[in-house]
Chains A and B, each alone.
Chain A
């Protein structure tokens, strides 16, 4: 017997968005389709739709992140939800208690959705397990585990340039070992049918058995790894890794794994370059590449708002449907 997916309701509809793991290709495609629709909202004079009017979304960031929090805040506001931003410094001793207290207090204020970022893997799942039945949880990054909305905004960016996932070669370069983004990206790419997913990293920054676990191919040479790739995704290198013997130095990392025009030349001529930001210029990639014609990095930011609107509205829209099946809405 399979364990029911805690993210889905009894009818397979999205209730929480915690991880890509266990979600179907159809559901991921639905998120992308919805996001595509939301992209147009930014073109309106009034950049808002009334879809989630009356809903309350709390951004609960136990780990600071200006960019992600801002895009979640903007997404909720574009859906006309009310937004609470809470930056909570975490206590290492009484995390569970603090989390539950916070959850209960905010639930008492009639919050409908929590967007949670936390340094500990599994926090979003923990909150989903303890949240009241009418409350949704969206994972905005937990430990090394998952960052599903980042992965989905990357999928939307890829699809807008390369619509056929079944034909793609995608290379992910950098600190795969510590990256929740990379984990979610690998799962999303494989679920969406990408046949050739490559991970390129120094041996110290690759998880053991990554190939078997995620159905990807590992490379240790950048030029070889990006050869004939359609998409090259660069990951952010945390500077503290340089001091922990996992990497020799920024300079040496760039020499071996930094993306330059020259190295990118082995990829397909129309290959796109992505990065979750913020970029360490001259470490992960040259400025020439970051600002070049193949860079879609700023599109990723724009697409991030639309994807977060899609996820939030799907979860919030499914909250009160209970056990009834989703009926075709009357169009008259």
Chain B
């Protein structure tokens, strides 16, 4: 991989996650939330959530969601080849959740994640934390906490590579697809 493929390197990402940690801590204090339940979305969201979870010192185990079964493009793209079971360590009923993903673009993944969560129960609240909030919203969904905010061309693809080190890779769609 050439250097020009990297949009944000490991140090920049770790610093952004530090900033996200502080913002989440302030938000939780402000709202009087003491025992939030953190849930990462496969795959990149889980990597970011693992770091946030450790830095916030949360007591509850980290949950993870796979939204493949809730996609709204199933009849167009078929089954996602690598489905992992979702895992929620405790019930979500009446709990304050922090939902974590790597990139928020169209909002469709978060919409699907909401549907998954509500099939497990009825949370008290959901806070959305993403590493990158970028242009391209298709649904009225926004992040509560974002590590980076940036605009890109519609043909540009940004993807988190990990789990160690975390790198944000940039490629033009179709020309040099990120795998």
Contacts and interface: CB of A to CB of B under 8 A. Distances in A.
Nearest to A55: B75
A318 B78 contact: yes
A330 B112 CA distance: 13
A37 B69 contact: yes
A237 to B, nearest CB: 36
Nearest to A327: B77
Interface string A290-332: 0000000000000000000000011001111100001111111
Point out which of B75, B82, B103 has the most chain A C-beta atoms below 10 A from its C-beta: B75
A105 B120 CA distance: 39
B110 to A, nearest CB: 9
A132 interface: no
B69 A51 contact: yes
Contacts of A326: 77-78, 81
Given A51-B74, A329-B73, A332-B108, A40 B121 contact: no
Point out which of A44, A314, A330, A331 has the most chain B C-beta atoms below 10 A from its C-beta: A331
B86 interface: yes
A331 B44 CA distance: 10
Interface residues of B, number: 36
B79 A34 contact: yes
Contacts of B109: 331-332
B79 A50 contact: no
Contacts, number: 82
Contacts of B79: 34, 313-314, 317-318
B78 A48 contact: no
A49 interface: yes
Nearest to B75: A320
B76 interface: yes
A332 B103 contact: yes
A332 B85 contact: no
Contact of B106 (A13, A52, A330): A330
Contacts of B78: 13, 314, 317-318, 321, 326
A221 interface: no
A44 B85 CA distance: 11
B119 A48 contact: yes
A45 B115 CA distance: 12
Given A49-B70, A51-B69, A318-B78, A34 B83 contact: yes
Contacts of A34: 79, 83
Nearest to B138: A332
B77 A329 contact: yes
Nearest to A35: B83
B71 A328 contact: no
A318 B69 CA distance: 15
B142 to A, nearest CB: 14
A121 B115 CA distance: 42
B19 interface: no
Contacts of A109: none
Nearest to A330: B106
Interface in A21-71: 30, 33-34, 36-41, 44-46, 48-52, 54
Interface in B111-167: 115, 118-121, 134, 136
Contacts of B118: 46
A287 B81 CA distance: 41
Given A330-B73, A332-B109, 15 more contacts: A34-B79, A37-B85, A38-B69, A40-B87, A46-B119, A50-B70, A51-B70, A51-B74, A317-B77, A321-B76, A327-B77, A328-B177, A328-B179, A330-B105, A332-B106
30 contacts: A33-B82, A37-B83, A37-B85, A40-B85, A40-B87, A44-B120, A45-B119, A46-B119, A46-B120, A48-B119, A49-B70, A49-B119, A51-B69, A317-B74, A318-B79, A320-B75, A321-B76, A321-B77, A326-B81, A328-B177, A328-B179, A329-B73, A330-B73, A330-B105, A330-B106, A330-B108, A331-B109, A332-B108, A332-B134, A332-B136
Interface of A: 13, 30, 33-34, 36-41, 44-46, 48-52, 54, 313-314, 317-321, 326-332
